[in-house]
Structure 1
Amino acid sequence: MLFLLPPSETKRAGGAGAPLDMSTLSFADLAPLRTELAERLVALSADDDAAMRALKLGPRLIGEIGHNRALWTSATMPALDRFTGVLFDALDAETLDSSARAFAADTVFVHSALFGLVGALDPIPAYRLSHDSRIPGVALKRFWRDSIAQRIASHEGLVVDLRSEAYAELGPAPVRDGSVFVRVVAIDDGGRKRALNHFNKQAKGRFTRRLLETRPQLESTDDLVQWAGAEGFRMALGAAPAGAQVELDLVA
């Protein structure tokens, strides 16, 4: 199984791990791309004003530029502990037991704009870069798209894509059996669906946490839907266009 999560803009500061070493991250063959982008981000962040414009930050977030400047020397922590925000607060990775965290290491990956796909327990520093940031000399969509798509497609088991559409564009999952995009929706009394924002992220965090707590062995979309139903989550086939990745609606 491969569960794909979006990152968050906000990240926990500090850490107790050794400084960034690209060779310790999952998909180690992405190291040259990660290194190139990291070096470009550090160089950009030498100029506060230029970095704030490129990263679309307001004055109150100038401290984020300092995280980028210290990218190679600051302490690291596991990716699931580094990211904060609604999804990761609901997932609450730090309170998971050791078995759940070990399962996460094998199944859950976060799609970072800076590092590409990182494993749940991969050691990463604090940084600021999002899918729509403007790095001189780099278009992030072109930079990552083929490499990430190839790594996801190489996984032969079930692929569950919980990313936002913006991050899915940076590396699409394959269109094949056993690869699904999960969209969180609400259904009103008339049966009409609407997408959610805050509760979208919260539902994805709770969904992922329950996966890690129960550690099911899921081999197909049917397995996923049946497991979700047994755990109190309502899932149904969505309305993806013909030729697109299968979509499942997670009803919040």
Structure 2
Amino acid sequence: MLLLLPPSETKRDGGDPARSLDLGALSFPTLTPPRRATLAALRRLSRNLQAATLGLKLGASQRFEVDRNRVLGSSPVLPAIERYTGVLYDGLDAQSLDPAERSFAAGSVAIASALFGLLRADDPIPAYRLSHDSRLPGLSLKTHWKGPVSAALAEVEGPLIDLRSEGYVALGPLPDRPDAVTVRVVTEDAGGQRKALNHFNKKAKGEFTRAVIRAGVRHGSVESLLEWAPSAGIRFVRSGDRTLDLIV
């Protein structure tokens, strides 16, 4: 089973000063060539402050994001699950996981990335700024990543549980198979009507991921996950052949 998470716009600073970005240390090695191309395009963009501000959709107070991108090759690295911050990652709270839970996460959690395509939870990465809708010179992120990421996901054995946002799904759609499902976070009123959540869905996704990690059960099927969920206080309902509603 692999849980697929979105990244976040915000990144934690710092990391191991003795290590820097090594593409050979990242999971999904078939993505190394497109990673090199994306890094090269981002470096070209970052040479021009005005172009980078526009291409990355940055505000006046976010020049530091361009500075980060300029030193990607020499910046310290952190495990991806610690690098990303924000509501989802607050709910996951990776830094409080014990060693056994971190080991489980390393094998069961992947994070989408506009820069790296797809990462395992413990892949060491620097702080950077690049979003699914960023504009790079001579490179369309959707066209660039769609085929390689989808192919990498198709090679993963077992269920794929997709918690990514729509923008990142577009960079690598799920393979067409019964055990590849999308999770939608919803509320349910007294009459049973469900409504999708926007901002607050991130917290629910983080907390769900944390619950799976802490339980340490490697589910071999979507049905196994659904049978386990009530024991963790999680309520799922199938809303389609390949869609699960997480009701909060």
TM-score scaled by length of structure 2: 0.97
Aligned position for 2:244: 248
Question: Does the alignment pair 1:35 with 2:23?
Answer: no
Cα separation, 1, equivalents of 2:44 and 2:14: 22
Aligned position for 1:188: 189
Aligned position for 2:55: 54
Amino acid at match of 2:143: R
User: C-alpha deviations, 1:94-149, integer Å up to 9, x for none?
Assistant: 11000000011111100000001111000000000000000010111110001100
Q: Counterpart of 1:184 in 2: which secondary structure?
A: strand
Contact 2:88 2:206 in 1 (8 A): yes
Question: Does the alignment pair 1:95 with 2:96?
Answer: yes
Q: Counterpart of 1:249 in 2: which secondary structure?
A: strand
Deviation at 1:28, TM superposition (A): 1.6
Q: Counterpart of 1:189 in 2: which secondary structure?
A: coil
TM-score scaled by length of structure 1: 0.96
Amino acid at match of 1:3: L
Amino acid at match of 1:13: D
Deviation at 1:31, TM superposition (A): 1.2
Aligned position for 1:7: 7
Cα separation, 1, equivalents of 2:154 and 2:145: 14
User: C-alpha deviations, 1:198-227, integer Å up to 9, x for none?
Assistant: 220000000001111111121111111111
Structure 1 residues 72-111: aligned runs within 5 Å: 72-111=73-112
Amino acid at match of 1:141: K
Cα separation, 2, equivalents of 1:39 and 1:57: 20
Deviation at 1:40, TM superposition (A): 1.1
Aligned position for 2:198: 197
Aligned position for 1:125: 126
Deviation at 1:189, TM superposition (A): 1.9
Cα separation, 1, equivalents of 2:200 and 2:247: 10
Q: Which moved more, 1:166-175 or 1:137-146?
A: 166-175
Q: Counterpart of 2:200 in 1: which secondary structure?
A: helix
Cα separation, 2, equivalents of 1:136 and 1:224: 42
Work out the percentage of aligned pairs sharing the same amino acid: 49
Deviation at 1:188, TM superposition (A): 1.5
Contact 2:30 2:148 in 1 (8 A): no
Cα separation, 2, equivalents of 1:151 and 1:218: 20
User: C-alpha deviations, 1:74-96, integer Å up to 9, x for none?
Assistant: 10000000000000011010110
Amino acid at match of 1:250: L
User: C-alpha deviations, 1:35-84, integer Å up to 9, x for none?
Assistant: 11111101211111110100111111111111100100110000000000
Deviation at 1:190, TM superposition (A): 2.4
Cα separation, 2, equivalents of 1:65 and 1:189: 48
Q: Counterpart of 1:62 in 2: which secondary structure?
A: helix
Deviation at 1:196, TM superposition (A): 0.8
Amino acid at match of 2:141: L
Cα separation, 2, equivalents of 1:145 and 1:77: 26
Aligned position for 1:211: 212
Amino acid at match of 1:15: G
Cα separation, 1, equivalents of 2:110 and 2:193: 32
Give RMSD over aligned pairs. Answer: 1.0
Cα separation, 2, equivalents of 1:156 and 1:67: 35
Deviation at 1:238, TM superposition (A): 1.3
